[in-house]
Structure 1
């Protein structure tokens, strides 16, 4: 019988913490994904490993399985480390490059203690998922959301930055003179998508939540082209992360959003069963930089996240 190591790792984490929530946090996955992995492992083995009630307890079978499971994971980790002992850099694909994701990785590296990283440019999240599961990259960085991939629960992810987004408007837009806008103020404007709407989950969620019915899809020809289109289309706007490095396009103004403040959730995602040995160092560096720069501050009374992002926190 071939065991799925991600499922075995999920069981070992629950056995160690005796708590599904704490185990999910330890593996940086959702509690639902963790529960599914354990349930699939039990189904494959044809035996119940855990008793679920007010707490979590190991069954007799679970106690027998635990130590061999731990040895199997240690052997798998040692095998991966042996292959990667040549010091190959940690490969991280960044997607949604219009939103400038590489700057967050760069800030963590500049802060020190981060490993050597080799950045790649992925097209979108589904492309990153496929590359991770094929072993072509070690991690991905961008906004994680549901892909419907049949093996999506084999991946772990951790939010590392919640970034406010600004509204970008042409100077002739009726709202361009405001110092701050509420998202609901944009309900009568046209939201420009820099690519196909099906690939831009955050913009779709924003438009649905704040009543922006006028939406126009485009082709991603870069930030300069997007901002020039915003300037030239009457009543148009788009959203971009507040700290993104944007080209200077005359006639375009960035206006902060508040009441609530929409936040764009950046996450690192990786294959839980094939972790590069330097991945923990990158996660630590991102966490330390995030604490120093308050990247993960979130108040549901003040801020807005799409429901899936809020659940991931």
Structure 2
């Protein structure tokens, strides 16, 4: 979903006319129709009822209009909030993060620094529970965490979902599939990181196995993903599961999505006192 699609949808919803919406947006009418159509297809719902005489919002369209306006207002607040962050605490943003989130952190901070180049960012590593407590206590400003989060006094907003992929030996009988059935994990030794290291991935995999009615045999904990992948490629009758997918970059192994898909949610944690404008701006930066 793109911000542009939401802007075009809001314009049509408020004008109830594609031509007037196009004039308001200073674009050609086909572009408006195209972007709104893409939004509907991506969401899988019909937002507008069109006829040769009029355009009206559907029930789903009315509900989305409220949220779309909120998102667009938040986007417009990014510059202001970045300035507020820089003005407070000598221009320091204390950001709780976790392993594997480096690119998202870099991209989000870069967006804020476009308008506040003097902002100093201090990264604080730790588990989700510690980050939630830190945000609530004011010890850190915001946090990005993976997995389910239960935290009183903290706003928790889902920003993304990471698909899980299984790493198999290239000679496994299911290695040629586009997606590997999760039941395959019951045939091999399943190697996962210790829960204390990566609770989100660990819990998501085992929950998916329980849902599929299988009980995989757990092997040695994964302390180095690179080492585990090499061992699997050398013929170790095992499998591991990783977040995201970098492709089949190691000889002897394949990396495939699970079937059915398994995902781990990623969340933004921010103090409830931050206000909706601040929340929306941070969502826009780090989503």
TM-score range (shorter-chain normalised) is: 0.5 to 0.7
Which structure 2 segments of 5+ residues have no match?
1-65, 71-83
Give secondary structure in 2 for the equivalent of 1:175: coil
What is the correspondence of 1:1-313 to structure 2 with a 5 Å cutoff? 85-95=88-98, 97=99, 100-109=100-109, 116=119, 118=121, 120-146=123-149, 152-196=151-195, 199=199, 200-216=202-218, 218-219=220-221, 221-231=223-233, 234-243=236-245, 248-258=249-259, 260-273=260-273, 280-287=280-287
Give secondary structure in 2 for the equivalent of 1:174: coil
Quick one: structure 1 residues 157 and 232, their matched pair in 2 at CA, closer, same or farther if it must change by over 3 Å? farther
Quick one: structure 1 residues 274 and 165, their matched pair in 2 at CA, closer, same or farther if it must change by over 3 Å? same
| C-alpha separation in 2, matches of 1:243 and 1:165 | 8
> Which stretch has the larger CA shift, 216-225 or 168-177?
216-225
When the two structures are superposed, what TM-score results if normalisation uses the length of structure 1? 0.52
**Paired residue for 1:297?**
none
> Which stretch has the larger CA shift, 158-167 or 127-136?
127-136
Quick one: structure 1 residues 144 and 272, their matched pair in 2 at CA, closer, same or farther if it must change by over 3 Å? farther
Which structure 1 segments of 5+ residues have no match?
1-21, 27-80, 288-313
**Paired residue for 1:301?**
none
By how many angstroms is 1:84 displaced?
A: 5.9
Count of aligned residue pairs for this structure pair: 201
Contact 2:144 2:269 in 1 (8 A): yes
| C-alpha separation in 2, matches of 1:245 and 1:111 | 28
By how many angstroms is 1:134 displaced?
A: 3.3
| C-alpha separation in 2, matches of 1:203 and 1:261 | 11
Give secondary structure in 2 for the equivalent of 1:256: strand
Deviations 1:175-211 (A, max 9, x none): 2232322323433333211113793322222222223
Give secondary structure in 1 for the equivalent of 2:88: coil
Give secondary structure in 2 for the equivalent of 1:104: helix
Contact 1:140 1:268 in 2 (8 A): yes
Quick one: structure 1 residues 278 and 238, their matched pair in 2 at CA, closer, same or farther if it must change by over 3 Å? same
Give secondary structure in 1 for the equivalent of 2:174: coil
When the two structures are superposed, what TM-score results if normalisation uses the length of structure 2? 0.56
| C-alpha separation in 2, matches of 1:284 and 1:215 | 41
| C-alpha separation in 1, matches of 2:96 and 2:222 | 18
Quick one: structure 1 residues 120 and 219, their matched pair in 2 at CA, closer, same or farther if it must change by over 3 Å? farther
By how many angstroms is 1:226 displaced?
A: 3.4
What is the RMSD of the two structures over their aligned residues, measured on CA atoms?
Answer: 3.8
Quick one: structure 1 residues 144 and 229, their matched pair in 2 at CA, closer, same or farther if it must change by over 3 Å? same
By how many angstroms is 1:92 displaced?
A: 1.8
By how many angstroms is 1:254 displaced?
A: 0.5
| C-alpha separation in 1, matches of 2:164 and 2:92 | 32
Contact 2:128 2:149 in 1 (8 A): no
| C-alpha separation in 1, matches of 2:142 and 2:216 | 36
